[in-house]
Amino acid sequence: MILLHSNPWFAERWEALTPDQRARFGVDHIALTRELTGSGELIASEGLADPSLARWVSTADGSPVVADGPFAELKEHLAGFYLIDVESAERAEEIGARVPDAVWGLVEVRPILDMTGWDV
């Protein structure tokens, strides 16, 4: 999975971009999504809504409790993802490097936990 992170500094950087640079950012995401769809490597890709719209769910006391999120001290948040099916970690890293957000160091490539062998 390729995770796209954001933080308060991203908003500052975004505001400093020209309209053409902002448009290019979106176009590059769309182009990468289309390429991965065409190669059969893309399973899903989505951007996530602002964290102010998040809800925290807990069943710690045995019944569901839902509260507004995020926690006040949260500075970084998950902004989107690409779920991919590739042959190697190197290929996933290659794709991660092409995600426009990588220019700001906001891209994480993480393997999906394989639970197929678990006996549950």
For 11-68, the pLDDT digits (tens) are 788 889 999 999 998 999 999 999 999 999 999 999 998 888 888 899 988 999 998 8
Confidence of residue 75 (pLDDT cuts 50, 70, 90): confident
φ, ψ of residue 45 to 5 degrees: the values are -150, 130
Confidence of residue 104 (pLDDT cuts 50, 70, 90): confident
Single-letter amino acid, residue 98: R
> pTM value?
0.84
The residues near 95 (Cβ < 8 Å, ≥ 6 apart) are 2, 32, 36, 41, 82, 84, 86, 109
Cα separation of 101 and 120, whole Å? Answer: 38
